[in-house]
Amino acid sequence: MLEGLTDKSDFTYEEYTVRVLETIGWATRSWIFRMYKVQWNQCTEEEAICNREEDLRKAYTLWFE
């Protein structure tokens, strides 16, 4: 009945970016905010989520060189 399923003890999978769909930005008097709408490998374009530039800079330093 459960043929073809593999047993992973930690139930993890690797997640990676497929592409950046949109860049959203706004500014206040002293701050500039940027968000990136990112499509990850486990979701469709409609399910893409916005991520803060600050978080992406920490995780993906090569993107911002």
Q: How far is CA 15 from CA 32, 40, 41, in A?
A: 28, 7, 6
Distance separating alpha carbons of residues 32 and 24, to the nearest angstrom: 11
- What is the reported pLDDT for 62? 85
- The pLDDT score that the predictor gives to residue 4 is 57
The pLDDT value recorded for residue 18 is 85
Span 16-51, pLDDT tens digits: 888 899 999 999 999 899 999 999 888 888 999 899
What is the pLDDT at residue 3?
60
Class in CATH terms, 17-64: mainly beta
